[in-house]
Amino acid sequence: MYKGLTTYDGMCADRLCNRYFMSEEGNSVNYIKRLRDLREDHDMTQQEVADYLNTSQTMYARYERGANELPIRHLIKLAELYNVSVDYLLCLTENPKRMK
């Protein structure tokens, strides 16, 4: 699943977002808020999501604040966890449905 993104294995989500997905005003799309909103909507703690990603709570908190870049592998796992598309996580669509 999401095999097209594996070519970006070394690239992080916010670099990918900043490089390809700019708003008309030139500001990068803020997917950080969407990450936090989805976690809260699923009644999950940062620790629970961090455990799912096999990372520390501190590192996951840094992803949510935008202090660290979110690796593509985590982006894909989060899309699977929340059952949404990567496009939805990156704010490229308002439709959260994943393609089958």
Could you give the CA distance from residue 14 to residue 21 in angstroms, rounded to a whole number? 10
pLDDT over 80 (residue 14): no
pLDDT over 50 (residue 7): no
Domain total of the chain: 1
The parent domain of residue 37 ranges over: 3-89
Nearest one of 73, 52, 87, 54 to 6, comparing CA atoms = 73
pLDDT value at position 69?
87
99 located within any domain: no
pLDDT over 90 (residue 29): no
Domain containing 73 — which CATH number?
A: 1.10.260.40
Say if residue 60 is exposed, middle or buried (CB neighbours under 10 Å; 0-12, 13-18, 19+): buried
pLDDT value at position 66?
86
Higher pLDDT, 96 or 20: 96
43 located within any domain: yes
Those residues whose C-beta lies under 8 Å from the C-beta of residue 96, and which sit 6 or more positions away, are 82, 83, 84, 85, 88
96 located within any domain: no
77 located within any domain: yes
